[in-house]
Amino acid sequence: MIIRMGHREDLLVGAMTCLREKGYARTTARDIVAASGTNLGSIGYHYGSTEALLNAAVLASVDEWGTQLGSAMAAKIDPDAPFLMRFEQYWAAVLATFEDYRQVWAATFDLLGVAERVPQIRAAVADGLDDGSVTTAGAGGVTGYRSAESQARSRSSAATICAVSTYSPGVWAISEMPGP
């Protein structure tokens, strides 16, 4: 049985595809329509603007990446290993996703600029960063602070690790600096 998505979902999937193939700045409304099999009017009806649709696509792609990374971390990080080994395991999981999400990483820089103007995007980005910190700190994760008393320290350390793991590959994605 084939399950057909509606135009809203088709547009989001099409925008996510364009984001990966062309990047944020080079994707046009016509590109999204071609990739989604919908029409130009659907963008305005469902999202209000191409920018709003692209922002939703970036957030959905980052969420998809976070889910993939969370699964990889759960499978590959040994909570009983020494800190440096857990840190190496974390970075290996992050870097293994780099090529598949290269354009998404670069698009997060565009999204940070949008977050300054659009409160909903700012809240979504903040929630995503908080979720990443919780995932990184959880289950003995990378930071290794396991007692209830050290939970705040663990979240703070995890937030720093998340910031570095978001920023560094983003720089690799948009610059000529050598990456992974």
Note whether 31 and 22 are within 8 A (CB): yes
What pLDDT is stored for residue 42 in this prediction? 95
What are the tens digits of pLDDT across the range 42-93? 999 999 999 999 989 988 888 888 787 777 777 778 878 887 888 788 778 7
138: left (phi over 0), alpha (psi -120 to 50) or beta: beta
Average pLDDT on 133-142 reads 52
Average pLDDT on 145-174 reads 61
What pLDDT is stored for residue 86 in this prediction? 80
What pLDDT is stored for residue 139 in this prediction? 41
Tokens at 101, concatenated: 């999400």
